[in-house]
């Protein structure tokens, strides 16, 4: 079964959504370490990492949701 251009586009959107999620997790980790280094409590690091994960998942879902809604429709 040959791949279509739509399949490549869907794969690239899912891959980029995963990279967005990872980027927000790393951003939360770095921000938490920066805040902990300036005297914030130690629980700030896991809290900002979890917050980054939540923000990243919401952004990733916003990227993937159109693919999910259009998955059964035929295109010309």
Check whether 17 has a pLDDT greater than 90. yes
This prediction's pTM: 0.82
Cα Rg, the chain, nearest whole Å:
17
pLDDT at residue number 38: 96
Residue 54: pLDDT band (50, 70, 90) is very high
Domain count, the chain: 1
pLDDT at residue number 75: 60
Q: In which domain, by residue range, is 40 found?
A: 16-69
Give the residue-averaged pLDDT of 33-49.
Answer: 96
- Answer yes or no: is 7 within a domain: no
Rounded CA-CA distance 62/40 in Å is 32
Please, are residues 40 and 56 in contact by the beta-carbon 8 Å criterion? Answer: no
pLDDT at residue number 76: 57
- Answer yes or no: is 37 within a domain: yes
Cα dihedral 61, 64, 69, 74 in deg (nearest 10) = 180
The Cβ of residue 17 has, within 10 Å, a number of other Cβ atoms equal to: 20
């Amino acid at each position: 079964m040959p791949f279509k251009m739509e399949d490549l586009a869907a794969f690239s959107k899912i891959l980029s959504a995963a990279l967005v999620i990872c980027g927000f997790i790393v951003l939360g980790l770095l921000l938490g370490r920066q805040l902990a280094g300036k005297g914030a409590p130690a629980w700030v690091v896991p809290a900002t990492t979890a917050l980054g994960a939540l923000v990243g998942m919401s952004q990733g879902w916003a990227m993937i949701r159109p693919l999910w809604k259009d998955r059964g429709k035929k295109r010309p």
